[in-house]
Amino acid sequence: MSRQIINRILIGVFIILMIGMGVVYIRQEAKLNDLKKQQLELEKKQQRIEFIVQEYLVLLDNVNSRNFIIRMAREKFGWVFDNEKIFVKDDYSEFFPPASTPGTDIEEPNDPLE
């Protein structure tokens, strides 16, 4: 009889240990998934930062070049060379509505002098 009691106690302890190990395993899996998500987010941030750094390095390489100086003078100050021709596209669409199509009636505005 004492052998049966010891066997039952051992089986009970074994079952409790297995349940405890299962709970620990599930928690570790959840934590591992969270860490993998964080790793992916950090890798994306690292790629964006590396891209921005590369852009700044290119800008720094070009800072003392003649083309960079000319471009900045044009963009920031509107400077041009003496012999340069500048073409400007006039956009009056905000002041004048588009022409009407034939056959539509347009009301004439009232003349305030009449």
Q: What is the pLDDT of residue 61?
A: 81
Q: Which residue has better confidence, 77 or 89?
A: 77
| Residues 1-40: tens digit of each pLDDT | 688 999 999 999 999 999 999 999 999 999 999 999 999 9
Q: What is the pLDDT of residue 36?
A: 96
Q: What is the pLDDT of residue 108?
A: 56
pTM of the model: 0.45
Q: Which residue has better confidence, 70 or 13?
A: 13
What are the C-alpha distances in Å from 41 to residues 35, 37, 55, 82, 99? 10, 6, 21, 52, 53
With bands split at pLDDT 50, 70 and 90, how would you rate the model's confidence at 63?
A: confident
